[in-house]
C-alpha cells in the first residue's frame, strides 16, 4: 500500500472521522476554482464501541508521527479473554477435538467396510454362483445315488473279476504252450516252420485268435 494512502487511512481511524462513503470525496470546486475537502464527523461521533482505540501523536513530519492503540476499550483491557470465557473456549476446543477423533474413527471404519464390501461379489454374482453350485450339487447327488446302486453289485463284481483272472491265467498258460511248440518245431525243421510266419498267419501252422 502506498505510504500516503496508509497515512490517510490511519489518520481517519485515529480521528474517528473515517467514512467509507466519503473516502474518495476530495474534489475541486469547478465554479469557485477553490479546492475543498469533505470532512468527516467530529472526534467521538462514531457509535462503534472501539472508536478512538487508535490514537496519534503528531511529530514534525510523517516519519516521526506515532500511532498507538488504547487497549482500555478492549475486553479485559486487551489482556485476552476473561478466565471464564477462556475456560469455555478451551472446553469447547477439547470437545471439538474429541468429536473430530470419533468422526475420523467412524470414517476409517466405514472405509474398511467399504473395501470389504467391494471385495465381495455383488448380489447378481452371488445369485449366479449359487445357481451353479446348486446344479453341481444336483449332479453329485445323482452320482451318489448311482454309486449306491452299484454297491449292491459288489459281490457280483468280485466274482466276475475272479473269473476273468482265472481265464486270463489259462490263456497265458495256453499261449506259453503254443510258443514252446512252435519254437520246438522251428528248431526241429531247421527253420522250415517259422514261428514269425505262423504268428502272422503265413506259416505252415495256422494259429487262430
- Separation CA 40–CA 114 (nearest Å): 64
Distance, CA of 18 to CA of 50 (rounded, Å):
13
Give pLDDT, residue 28.
43
User: 3-state DSSP call for residue 66?
Assistant: strand
| pLDDT tens, residue by residue, 70-98 | 777 676 666 777 788 888 989 999 999 99
- Pick from 49, 55, 94: which is nearest to 74 by CA? 49
Q: pLDDT for 120-136, tens place per residue?
A: 888 888 899 999 999 99
CA distance 53 to 162: 121
Strands 54-57 and 35-36: unpaired
Q: What is the pLDDT of residue 195?
A: 82
Q: Copy the grid coordinates of residue 157.
A: 463284481
Q: Quick one: pLDDT band at residue 138, thresholds 50, 70, 90?
A: very high
How far is Cα of residue 19 from the mean position of the Cα atoms in its chain?
57
What pLDDT, in 10s, does the model give residues 17-66? 444 444 444 444 444 443 333 333 344 445 666 666 777 777 787 778 88
47 and 26 in contact (C-beta within 8 Å)?
no
Amino acid at each position: 500500500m502506498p505510504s500516503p494512502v496508509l497515512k490517510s487511512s490511519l489518520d481517519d481511524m485515529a480521528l474517528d472521522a473515517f467514512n467509507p462513503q466519503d473516502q474518495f470525496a476530495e474534489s475541486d470546486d469547478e465554479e469557485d476554482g477553490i479546492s475543498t475537502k469533505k470532512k468527516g464527523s467530529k472526534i467521538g461521533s462514531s457509535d462503534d464501541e472501539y472508536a478512538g482505540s487508535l490514537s496519534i501523536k503528531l511529530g514534525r513530519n510523517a516519519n516521526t508521527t506515532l500511532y498507538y492503540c488504547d487497549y482500555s476499550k478492549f475486553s479485559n483491557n486487551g489482556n485476552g479473554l476473561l478466565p471464564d470465557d477462556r475456560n469455555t473456549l478451551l472446553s469447547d476446543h477439547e470437545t471439538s477435538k474429541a468429536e473430530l477423533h470419533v468422526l475420523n474413527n467412524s470414517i476409517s471404519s466405514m472405509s474398511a467396510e467399504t473395501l470389504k464390501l467391494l471385495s465381495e461379489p455383488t448380489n447378481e454374482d452371488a445369485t449366479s454362483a449359487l445357481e451353479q453350485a446348486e446344479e453341481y450339487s444336483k449332479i453329485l447327488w445323482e452320482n451318489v445315488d448311482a454309486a449306491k446302486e452299484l454297491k449292491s453289485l459288489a459281490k457280483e463284481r468280485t466274482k466276475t473279476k475272479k473269473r476273468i483272472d482265472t481265464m486270463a491265467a489259462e490263456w497265458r498258460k495256453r499261449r506259453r504252450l503254443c510258443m514252446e511248440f512252435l519254437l520246438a518245431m522251428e528248431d526241429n525243421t531247421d527253420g522250415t516252420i517259422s514261428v514269425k510266419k505262423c504268428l502272422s498267419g503265413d506259416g505252415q501252422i495256422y494259429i487262430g485268435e
